[in-house]
Amino acid sequence: MEELNALFHGFATVISPMNFLLMLVGIILGVLIGVLPGLGGANGVAILLPLTFSMNPTSAIIMLSCIYWGALFGGAITSVLFNIPGEPWSVATTFDGYPMAQQGKAGEALTGAFTSSFIGAFIAVVMITFMAPLVAKFALKFGPPEFFSVYLLTFCSFVGMGKGSPFKILASMTLGFALACVGMDTVTGQLRLTFGFHELMRGFDFLIAVIGLFGIGEILLSMEEGLAFNGKSARIDPKVVFNTWKQLPAYWATSLRASLIGIWMGITPGGATPASFMSYGVAKKMSKNGNNFGNGELEGVVAPETAAHAAGTSALLPMLALGIPGSPTAAVLLGGLLIWGLQPGPLLFVEQKDFVWGLIASMYLGNLVGLLVVLTTVPLFASILRIPFSIIAPVIIVICAIGAYTVHNAMLDIWFMLLFGVVGYVFKKLDYPLAPLVLALVLGDKAEDAFRQSMLLSQGDLSIMFSNALVGGITALALVMLFWPLISKLIALVKAPKQQQFAAERPVD
């Protein structure tokens, strides 16, 4: 009951005229960011974050989170109409969304995608509403060893549960740790890895890195591929919307399953992209129309969109309650909280109730407003893609440069942005993941501080990481996550002989 009272107070904060206007602006900007290939949710939030420094933190987080929701919605527009994923998590939507558009069902595909996104987000927000305070109360028992074990769990989960090569994830994360070390040591006050350059004293700002890695890197890749926009036009009328809504209840099991997959992948550092692919694969395997997936099946649009939005929303739970982001965008928002002077974690629910519950309330209203905006403005946003990419790309680069310069009002930051852009381009060409690098850059110094504080408490004894049931359990789970690829292979090897023996003993009809 206490959570509901706090939530209603949050709604009162959100529906103030200024905050509601910022919510609407955030949604529209987010959809625009989602529509334009080369800009992503994380990069859009990073570019616009400097503009919020003069705002009230509650108003700022409402606007930035709504940019995120809008980007999640916007990615579906290009996937369905142009077969161009505006966001990485929209790739799975192209499998059935674009064939539906080719068959003249673009309105049906888009309505299904937008509505499913709203459902996935709504289920995830309900989970956050009731679970976040419980997680925060539990986290109040944490000291330096417990915090380090949670950071360790996050890093190990990225390595063990990631879909790419563990060695590439480790290499990306190691570079992030190295960059996080540059600047002044927070414990001793000495300079590290500056090599005599005083400009490096403040270290590498994560905002500059994110703008370069995601924005400039993606633009360079798109320019190399010679991206051109060709696709179908779409108009969503009320008749199409209501006819599609009549079909959606038949896929309730798919939506619920996709929401659960998305929530799990959001809380663990999986993210929206693997959640959408996993949900699509599970839906294809369990659906009675699974053989028709890829040929224009509405269920093939519902599954990935529901999971992506549920994952994107639930990624904010560990960020708020523990100070550990579950996605690159959540990592950018985490940096924003620190810039505004707020410390994410359990005390945030005690010291900044208006902020936390205003954000949670904006998740409800933001997704509802986002659904209405995209249903009514699809033709407008789709027409943006008629503009040649040779015009759009320089505009995006200029926006990135402005965002980078405003962080410290320093020209050097633009050069750093371009350098990180080249790194992002090389990483994408070599298929190295960027999310672990950003995560390590944001959390590396905090993990180091927690570890060094733990070592000071124990006088250098590593057994402090198993000194009680809480820290020992989290550390053990982290090690299981780290070695999960090896553990899963061992389990498969043990099962294989038993299955062969069972097959040999089974009588032949």
Q: Report the 10 Å Cβ neighbour count for 51.
A: 14
| Nearest residue to 157 via CA among 479, 456, 462 | 479
Q: What is the pLDDT of residue 440?
A: 81
pLDDT of residue 263: 83
Give Cα separations from 370 to 67, 71, 364, 374 (angstroms).
10, 10, 10, 6
For 92, the token pair is 């799975």
SS3 annotation, 188-226: CCCEECCCCCHHHHHCCCHHHHHHHHHHHHHHHHHHHHC
Helix (H) or strand (E) segment spanning residue 48: helix 41-48
Q: With beta carbons less than 8 A apart as the criterion, state whether 41 and 87 touch.
A: yes
Q: How far is CA 362 from the centre of its chain?
A: 17
pLDDT band at 87 (very low <50, low <70, confident <90, very high): low
Q: Are 75 and 93 in contact (CB under 8 A)?
A: yes
Beta bridge partners of 191: 184
More confident residue, 133 or 172: 172
Q: Return the closest-CA partner of residue 116 out of 473, 409, 371, 438.
A: 371
pLDDT digits (tens, 9 = 90+) for 174-200: 898 888 888 877 777 778 877 777 777
- Residue 124: pLDDT band (50, 70, 90) is confident
User: What pLDDT is stored for residue 40 in this prediction?
Assistant: 61
Upper half-sphere CA count for residue 320 (Cβ side, 13 Å): 29
What pLDDT does residue 385 have? 55
Average pLDDT of the residues in 294-307: 83
Q: Is a pLDDT exceeding 80 seen at residue 170?
A: yes
How far are the Cα atoms of 61, 193, 361 from residue 402, in angstroms, in the given order? Answer: 20, 28, 31
Q: pLDDT at position 5, please?
A: 72
Q: What is the DSSP letter of 73?
A: H
Question: Which SS3 state, helix, strand or coil, does residue 343 take?
Answer: coil
pLDDT of 237 reads 65
CA–CA distance, 48 with 75 (Å, rounded to integer):
19
Statement: the pTM of the whole predicted model exceeds 0.75: no
pLDDT of residue 444: 80
What is the tens place of the pLDDT at every residue in 233-271? Answer: 555 667 777 888 888 888 888 888 888 888 877 776 556
